[in-house]
Amino acid sequence: FGRTVEYYDVVDSTNIKAKRLAEEGAASGTLVVADCQNAGRGRRGKGWVSPSGKNVFMSLILRPDILPGSASMLTLVAALAVSDGIKKETGLDTSIKWPNDIVASGKKLCGILTEMSAELEGIHYVVVGIGINVNMEEFPEEVRLMATSLCMETGNKVRRSSLIASIMESMERYYEEFISQGDLSGLISVYNSRMVNAGRDVKILDSAGGYTGKALGINEKGELLVEMQSGEVKHVISGEVSVRGL
Ligand code: BTN
């Protein structure tokens, strides 16, 4: 992955750019990288802080031969790859907040936004957008308490190009494992070993309010298994809930 890199100084959003390139036929494995975004997007319609010269904004185009319902698992695959790349380049151990935030010291280092174009029978393309706070030393007021960067965590500036290369190398390995199995079964143990709240009590907030239980880890579909007091195990699907530690 990332052997073909489309680099831009400024884009609206690397996800938007990648979707446009994918529509025009860009090959699976093409990586779109930008120095800065002026309309960086986060999940749930939020924005993403995207100044120039500091962070990583990239979107990977994939064309997996899987059913559309499996595409969200790619986000968990990407989270593993990012945490590997960070470890390799900085030595920092990070955790994954299910399904796909990378955190250190309880604050967010990286967010992932996966989008796809698909029909019932199959996927045209998936764009996995990854934003990593790398060399930023100060955040806007509204995210200051929730956000951190590699530089703030380690005290060192990080070379963005090396970080991107390391992440792509890991991503390719994990992706092959995922595709060969057709699900996350080969990656469950490594994912769970990095998961925030694994084995702990959590509160799941959903549209109906919420409930508490013990987070057991993910299953092969990337669902979070939560054991209720009654012993019943709920399968929590990403996108519909928010998980809080207790
Ligand atoms: C989140 O809300 O946690 C997801 C944030 C995803 C941000 C990245 S930055 C690169 C790519 N382009 C975007 O506009 N968003 C993603």
215, 1, 15, 6: which is closest to 130 by C-alpha?
A: 15
232 alpha carbon – ligand 1 mean position (Å):
35
Question: How confident is the model at residue 68, as a pLDDT?
Answer: 92
The domains of the chain are located at: 5-193, 197-245
* Cβ 37 under 6 angstroms from ligand 1: yes
Question: How confident is the model at residue 3, as a pLDDT?
Answer: 85
229 alpha carbon – ligand 1 mean position (Å):
36
Question: How confident is the model at residue 18, as a pLDDT?
Answer: 98
* Cβ 43 under 6 angstroms from ligand 1: yes
88 alpha carbon – ligand 1 mean position (Å):
22
Give every CB contact of residue 11 below 8 A, 6+ residues apart in sequence: 17, 32, 34, 36, 37, 38, 57
CATH class of the region 197-245: mainly beta
Are 32 and 132 in contact by the 8 Å Cβ rule? The answer is: no
Largest CA distance in the chain: 54
Question: How confident is the model at residue 120, as a pLDDT?
Answer: 86
111 alpha carbon – ligand 1 mean position (Å):
6
Give every CB contact of residue 173 below 8 A, 6+ residues apart in sequence: none
Distances from the Cα of 63 to the Cα of 26, 58, 111, 114, 243, angstroms: 10, 17, 21, 13, 30
Nearest CA to ligand 1 atom 9: 131
Mean pLDDT by 10 residues, the chain (246 residues): 93 98 97 97 92 97 94 96 98 95 96 94 95 96 95 97 98 97 96 93 87 94 94 85 78
* Cβ 102 under 6 angstroms from ligand 1: no
* Residue among 48, 108, 143 to mutate when testing ligand 1 (max atoms within 8 A of CB): 48
Nearest atom in ligand 1 to the alpha carbon of residue 100 is 3
Residue 194, CB-side half-sphere exposure with 13 Å CA sphere? 26
Q: Which fold is adopted by the domain 5-193?
A: BirA Bifunctional Protein; domain 2 (3.30.930)
* Residue among 12, 15, 16 to mutate when testing ligand 1 (max atoms within 8 A of CB): 15
Whole-prediction pTM value? Answer: 0.95
162 alpha carbon – ligand 1 mean position (Å):
20
Nearest CA to ligand 1 atom 8: 131
